[in-house]
Chain A
């Protein structure tokens, strides 16, 4: 009896070892498994830039190869801007960060001291090589006749926007609405708070990121209007075809998503030269045209002139003008116990 058992067990163990080896072997065979010796860069970015950086990376790798003869691989990581910043703070080794707002890079400076506090002066235009703004995406034919921010507070209008606590885009949405009412009421903060509160009363679901909200609106069919990045709205139009149209409000916010080299990481990995060249590349006419093609507003005057027809004219205000910068906006509105918490509690 015992002998039979032991043979069985022997076979079972052997089979187990075989399966484990087979799995590892299979894993090794799958193409791409070879340990790559090429130099790599990691770009940690926010949600809607996947398509943009895929195109930019392809162009930069080609240019870098032509200039230096070196093969380069650029890895991408995407997610909610705040969450991505948190990952870098916790040790995700990003050579460059390209996030939705300066505050998230400032947080990396404060909490992990991975870059120079003056990072925003390193590149032109406050280190923001492209801009965007906040627009509305509505269903075809605009059945609820949504034309401007004040249409969002009407009863019966369902508004989709992500959670400002986790999403960079959502914070821009919120501040754009605030700025609109502040402008209309000649600077009455109480009126602005009431106005933004009434918009959030019409929000049925707060997703954690901009992309999540777009999928909620476009794929799941929830809501009458999506508050979205301009680039995200155009992309949705392209991906989901004819079911939607873009409405540009009379006044919106100038969103400046910044880029930065993470000093401590590039110095450790010896990638400073290529990382700086990569971000500098974003300002070249070639990259600026890729940027415009991906529905971000370019900075280069020539490219702006060439692509003028692609973007609806809109009056824009900056966060520095109306809110005194991101640090102040963050503490007043989005920190724990801030205005957003007050608004949600009232809801």
Chain B
């Protein structure tokens, strides 16, 4: 492989590298830089003011709460589903796989609308909920539900192929040696997939914090109450507050960068194990 690459003329290698770097710069680095530049367009003071006011803080808080609820639930669900799918045989398995992947193929706006149709005042359960004074949509529970739906497949999709590839030999050995189902899961299955799990969790978290469409439909856009960070960015932009909009956007981008850095750091600390387990 390496030998074949070095046999290409120098100019071709340079051109390809430049092309790749240019593409990266144009579509990734430049927009990110533009966000930061706009955010600091009126200086550090304006930037801090944009992030420090009550409404912005409320949106940050809501985003964190939503992610802190949605991600753990999706970890539990993703592990259970991928374990069942990869390690056991049962009827309707392929149907279950398709269902798990459904949120990927459905537009986020539709994902939000199904909750409006279900829990909205004119919806199926709406009148009952209203009678009992339970608020789902246009409140935090609806935002959490929509986020869970949209981020549903991330963990399971990471784990299913990994578990299938690893087969059932180790689990069968553990069972033969007398370990129970739960013990086998904790000591054999889970350790084998932990890197895939970590990756799935990071992706799930990034999407949970960044989701716009589905959340926008069920939010009701009440300032300081039901606006997540992405929604707050849109509102500020529409209020001609470009510094504020880009300041919050830069914070969102920063969350993504921190997530990526954490992943890289973890991989670096455990690089020996990673090589050993063949990841």
Contact = CB atoms under 8 A, between A and B. Distances in A.
B67 A9 contact: no
A5 B184 CA distance: 12
B176 interface: no
Task: Choose among A16, A75, A77, A93 the residue with the greatest number of B CB atoms under 10 Å from its CB.
Answer: A77
Nearest to B62: A27
B223 interface: yes
Contacts of B2: none
Given A31-B57, A33-B61, A91-B126, A76 B68 contact: no
A20 interface: yes
Contacts of B155: none
B64 interface: yes
B138 A9 contact: no
B223 A90 contact: no
Nearest to A88: B121
A77 B221 contact: yes
B122 interface: yes
Contacts of A6: 186-187, 191
A42 B122 CA distance: 20
B130 interface: yes
A211 B239 CA distance: 8
Interface in B100-126: 116, 119-123, 126
A285 B122 CA distance: 40
A32 B61 CA distance: 9
Task: Using C-beta atoms within 8 Å of the partner chain, give the interface range for chain B.
Answer: 35 or more
A91 B61 CA distance: 24
Nearest to A12: B194
A76 B123 contact: no
Interface in A236-254: 239-240
Contacts, number: 98
B121 A90 contact: yes
A56 to B, nearest CB: 14
Interface string A25-44: 01100111100000000100
Interface string A86-102: 01011111000000000
B122 A89 contact: yes
Given A27-B68, A32-B58, A91-B138, A76 B187 contact: no
Nearest to B239: A50
A215 B234 CA distance: 12
Contact of A5 (B67, B187, B235): B187
A112 interface: yes
A92 B224 contact: no
Interface in B166-217: 186-188, 190-191, 194
Given A31-B54, A90-B116, A90-B137, A75 B222 contact: yes
A2 interface: yes
B238 interface: yes
A240 B242 CA distance: 12
Closest 9 CB pairs of A and B: A91-B121, A90-B120, A5-B191, A23-B68, A27-B64, A239-B240, A92-B138, A92-B220, A30-B61
Interface of A: 2, 5-6, 8-9, 12, 16, 20, 23-24, 26-27, 30-33, 42, 47, 50-51, 75-79, 87, 89-93, 111-112, 211-212, 215, 239-240, 268
